[in-house]
Amino acid sequence: MRRGATKPLVDNFELFTRLCADKRYEGRIFGDVSALIQFNRCEKLGALLRRSDLHPRLVNGSDYPLPAINVLVRTGKLESLGYITAAERGLLNEIDRHDPIAFDLAVKRTVRVGDARFPDAVFMARPGLFRGV
C-alpha cells in the first residue's frame, strides 16, 4: 500500500479484466494494444494473447511518436519471452530499419503464445466504437 493510501494498489491489467467481466461495461470498455510491445510493458502481452474473451474489446491505437523511438521495443526481449522466433526477429528488425510504423504493426501481428495471436479485428476499424464515426 502507498503511504497515506487507504486501499492497496491494484494492477492495471487486473482492473481492466474486472471491468470487462462486469456486464454494465459491455460495449463501453476497450483496451488499446499500442504500447504492449514496449520493453517495459510486454509482461502482460502473453496474458492478453491468451485471453481470447478480451480480444473483441481490443483496438490498435497509435502511440506515435513512440513507435519511431526504436529503443522502446526490444525484439531480443520479445524473442526471449517466446513471443517471436529468432527468424521473425531478424525480419522484424529489417522492417524497423526502414519503416518504424510498419514495424510496429508487423510486431503486433507476429507476436503469439502457442497458437494465440491477436485477431484481425484488433487492427481494423470498429464501426460504432466512436460516436458519430
For residues 26 and 67, the model is more confident at: 26
Look at residue 51 and tell me if it is in a domain.
yes
Its domain, for residue 76, covers 12-123
For residues 3 and 68, the model is more confident at: 68
Look at residue 6 and tell me if it is in a domain.
no
Phi, psi values for residue 9, rounded to 5°:
-70, 140
Amino acid code (one letter) for 39: F
Look at residue 129 and tell me if it is in a domain.
no
Cell of 28: 463501453
| C-alpha of 39 from chain center | 12
Residues 51-60: tens digit of each pLDDT: 999 999 999 9
Predicted local confidence at residue 5, as pLDDT:
67
Whether the pLDDT of residue 13 is over 80: the answer is: yes
Cell of 4: 497515506
- Quote the number of domains for the chain: 1
Look at residue 27 and tell me if it is in a domain.
yes
pLDDT band at 2 (very low <50, low <70, confident <90, very high): low
Look at residue 5 and tell me if it is in a domain.
no
Q: Quote the mean pLDDT of the chain.
A: 91
pTM: 0.86
Look at residue 75 and tell me if it is in a domain.
yes
Over range 46-53, report the average pLDDT.
96
Whether the pLDDT of residue 132 is over 70: the answer is: no
Whether the pLDDT of residue 98 is over 80: the answer is: yes
